[in-house]
Structure 1
Amino acid sequence: MTPLLPIDWAALWRAQVAAEHAQYERLCDPRLRPGPDWWATQAEQFHRRSRAVSHTDALLQAALARVHPGATVLDIGAGTGRYALPLARAGAHVIAIDSSPAMLHYLQQEAAAEALPITIIAERWETSTVPVADLAICAHVLYPIADAELFLRKLDAHARHCWLLLNYEAPTSWMAPLWRVAYGEERLPLPGALEALALLHQLGIDAHLTPIPNTVTLRFASLDEALAEIRVRLCLASTPERDTRLREALTTLLEPLPDGSLRAPQPPHSALITWDGAPTRQG
């Protein structure tokens, strides 16, 4: 802690994540939970959605303007390659780190097909071994990480410039009313951008926050698709009575679009938190 920040933000972050995880463990049927790879049942949809919106992604456009051929980029939580692929196409050597084999499958396929300079590390960031890079990007990953201090210290130590993209609330916060429908209680929130900024300053890192257009766009082709995904996310078996109530809630929550799809509510802005990493400060 510092005199200017009497709150222990690292401890607050751990406590908030622990409470959210404990609620999930208490409410969600173990038989319906995902296996070791949480994204296994959702990777294909995630892949499709990320490709549909990459051209409007403010973080991607900023990163493309920053990198040059031969630059090294760490993409932490790379997923199916939303950032790794276009940055590699621009000539950067990208080190893509993600713990989900299902997500990395799509990245591996495209990288191999185009012979792109992407090194894939199928591991959690906290335990991975990586070199120091010119730029590190980490988009919408930090929310459920209990030891955010360890995560951020490692990020700071391994890149000359660090970019952390977060919403002010976790992207899944829009589903809170659905938890009330399914389980009769409010979904506990995860920490977000402001808590991350405060924690970085507590760690002695002079980080800066810039609002940018939100990069999360969650669309469903139909109400049936939305309901099916909600069942997975909330570990719910299908029952006629519950499905009816969830459909009613989704009809209220989701915005119909001209093409017939439905869009989940998201805030208009995300927060891009940037700082010069330890290799730059010490060099």
Structure 2
Amino acid sequence: VGACQGWTCLSSRLPQRARGWASLAARGGVMLSAPPAQSSQHTSNGRQLLRQGSEAGTAVTTTRADARISASVGQKLALGLVALINVASCGQGVLWVRTIHLMGHDHGFFVTQFAFPVCVNLVCWPIVGVMTWVGYIPRRERKPQWWKFAALAVMAGTGNLLNALPQAVLPGAVQTVLGTLGVPVRMVMSCALLGTRYRWQHYSASVLIVAAAVLVVAPKLADTTQDLDSADILWILVLIAIMFIPEQIYAEKWLKRHAPNLFDWRARMGFFEVILGVCLLPFLFVHIPGRTTVAPA
């Protein structure tokens, strides 16, 4: 019995399946030390315990294997979604070139922001339909929480519209630099709203991004030959304000909380983006203040 107890203590450092075998061996040792009259009953009980331990170990191994398979499938689906969104972006690029070539004015940039969610819907909804039909998306994941998708669509659509309007007015270098400044801003918002903790490498990278933006923008602002009018300053402030729209922060928060199917999530959000784009189409007829610096393709 003492030897079996020592083996049980040693088994605490073994993997879970081996630990189950060690526990059963300890029980079997205790049973072997019982009186001879009960040996046959203890032998039968020991065999039953060994069988149960084997089944439990097999179940644990199967569960871990299923978890690894699920994680692998999830990673593949995420990569597939990124690839398909890139396909939609390519479609958006083609429509962008054709639209600004045919329309010949600045509002073609806004049309492209409306065309992107249309392309996303054309890509994602057929996939969601097939996955739902084969039962890959459980019904519990189909429980609608439409207000969250509508809120994300409003934030994303508003940001896209405000980002599209000054594209024909501001130089491309200024737009690119202001776009990169959104990285440290989102880091600050994720720390405040989600409690995210970053390493020192992340903070160092954000400082480098801000320094690079200052080095690029400062000479242009100091150049007296390239004066900025009030409209340019207005659109720069608009692009800075876009960085504080917490669409990506809340998307990350709700994705972690609900863990939905990625295709279903993106398709529902794209549905509301199209509705918002239709509602914002009157902006096509609004004059954009500022001097046009980008010529149509």
TM-score, normalisation: structure 2: 0.24
Structure richer in strand, relative to its length? 1
TM-score, normalisation: structure 1: 0.24
> Which structure ranks higher in relative contact order (CA pairs < 8 Å, sequence separation ≥ 6)?
2
Q: Rg: which structure is higher? A: 2
Structure richer in helix, relative to its length? 2
